[in-house]
Amino acid sequence: MAEFKEPEWIFPFEGMLIGDSFFIPTLDPSHMLYAIERGAKRSQIVIRCFVTQKDGCLGVRAWRIA
């Protein structure tokens, strides 16, 4: 069985205002949650993430809350 590798993502933290969100499709939501939360911490912003679906695709949505 071939191993699936996630693409490299660039998160839009710098341009986000409080209330803005983005969705990242993924087959490995736990890894994506970790990556988004780690990136937000480095950017010194507060986010809230949820595993969800958009247009039938599994993924993670992140909202800037502070």
Amino acid at 20: D
Per the DSSP assignment, residues forming a β-bridge with 42 are: none
Q: What is the pLDDT of residue 2?
A: 61
What average pLDDT does this structure show over 12-39?
95
Both tokens of 28, joined, read: 């490995």
Both tokens of 51, joined, read: 């595993």
CA distance 26 to 53: 10
Enumerate the domain spans of the chain. Answer: 17-64
Amino acid at 29: P
What average pLDDT does this structure show over 23-32?
94
Amino acid at 23: F
